[in-house]
Amino acid sequence: MSESADAAETNGRDLGGCPVVHLDVSPPLEAGSYWRQADELREIGPALFNTMGPGYWMFTGHEQVRDIYQQPEIFSSESITPWEPEPAYRFVPTQLDPPEHGKYRRLLSRWFSPGAVNAAEPMMRDICRRLVAEIAPRGGCDFVSEFAIRYPTEVFLAVLGVPASDADHFVPWVEDFFRGFGGDPDQQQAMLDGLNGIREYWAAAVAERRGETRPRDGDLASHLLHSTVDDHPLTDTEVLDILQVLVLAGLDTTRGQLGYLFRHLAADPGDRRGLIDEPALIPSTVEESLRLFTIIFGDGRKVTRDTEFHGCPLKQGDMVYGLVSSANRDPRVYDRAGEFVLDRKGNNHFGFAAGPHRCLGAHLARREMKVAVEEWLRAIPDFRVATAEPLRERGGGSMMTLLRLPLAWETAS
């Protein structure tokens, strides 16, 4: 990251005195690097202008990020990646604004409601126990590839009503997509390959269900084919858009959060023992992981009209980037903001965003993480990071995740 004030880099536009930086958020770095960058950016100022790519505003404080989320009439979700103001893809309902956004979201709400998550927990726990039982006798694993992606993928597919065994297909497609989604120009073909694989899978599923007179019980694709918006049936394109974005949002996110949480537990035996001795702390531990180990470096929005926002003269068509990782570690809001506090109270974080686009799958993700901690600690109470080499994380332009997390433990031989 470099600071700059060259007017040529900002096309001579009025920045209202905001500092100028040049920051590429796409490259993989040593784990934790993007959170450190977020802290540094917040201390430079609550608002900055990044000259990377087409140029975009960055807002670093908790207050600014909150206000971006709560004003969709000014900050549109038409584009959610500030380096790509005219994206070639369209995620439904993610890239729709109110009131259209709510119409599509309501079709999905019952699938991810607290009641639906409660009903899914036995299935979730069975999948988790099976995977942990397979791993435990080995005395070690790469947590990321052998558990953190496999477990939420199988759970999510089961929730959608498709065979959990199809995780073998979805895992590489999701990996391909997020390699390019973060802005790396060398990985754009991988991103398209991932998107095409997911879409072709769902196209075949939709074709199989086409013409059925009643929706299949517990099958989301079938449910969408029998749903309407404004009294009109969904088009195939809309159905595929919805199913595609659900997979991308539901698999990689939980994988990323689990990786960072278990890295912490592997490195901090005191916190690990605290959870074993007092399992009631696991829910607050999950929330603290979502706050401190936020996998979303920032969230992009497109400005709908000229306006002044926290002292910055925004123009229609500008892109803004709310630095979620910075907001969630803002010492002006959180006591001991840079520490992991197992029993933190009033943890009002943006790990699931906020406003009308607050994560639809928040209840499911929380429960998946809680079950994972419970079942893993029951079978493998003591474990450690099994390498002295620095761990690496995917670039902050996408959803961050550890590229690998080798763990080791003693077996009862």
Distance in angstroms (rounded) separating the CA atoms of residues 10 and 41 = 18
Listed in sequence order, the residues at least 6 apart from 251 whose beta carbon sits closer than 8 Å to its beta carbon are 149, 152, 153, 156, 170, 171, 174
pLDDT of residue 7: 43
Q: Note the pTM of the prediction, 2 decimals.
A: 0.92
pLDDT of residue 44: 95
DSSP 209-272: HTT-SSPPTT-HHHHHHT-EETTEEPPHHHHHHHHHHHHHHHHHHHHHHHHHHHHHHHH-HHHH
- Does any domain span residue 413? no
Helix (H) or strand (E) holding 307: strand 307-309
**Domain encompassing residue 215:** 2-408
DSSP 310-327: TTEEE-TT-EEEE-HHHH
- Does any domain span residue 299? yes
Angle at 366 between CA 361 and CA 372, to 5 degrees: 125
Number of structural domains in the chain? 1
The domain that holds 226 is classified in CATH as 1.10.630.10
- Does any domain span residue 115? yes
| CA neighbor of 64 nearest in space, from 54, 55, 74 | 74
- Does any domain span residue 33? yes
Ramachandran angles phi, psi of 399, nearest 5°: -80, 125
pLDDT in tens, the chain (413 residues): 555 544 446 666 788 889 999 999 989 999 999 999 999 999 999 999 999 989 999 999 999 999 999 999 999 999 999 988 998 777 889 999 999 999 999 999 999 999 999 999 999 999 999 999 999 999 999 999 999 999 999 999 999 998 888 888 888 888 777 766 655 666 677 778 888 899 999 999 999 998 899 999 999 999 999 999 999 999 999 999 999 889 888 878 899 999 999 999 999 999 999 999 999 999 999 999 999 999 999 999 999 999 999 999 999 999 999 999 999 999 999 999 999 999 999 999 999 999 999 999 999 999 999 999 999 999 999 999 999 999 999 988 878 999 999 999 999 76
- Does any domain span residue 93? yes
Look-up of token digits 């699938």: 111
Is omega for the bond preceding 99 within 30 degrees of 0, making it cis? yes
- Does any domain span residue 166? yes
- Does any domain span residue 255? yes
- Does any domain span residue 148? yes
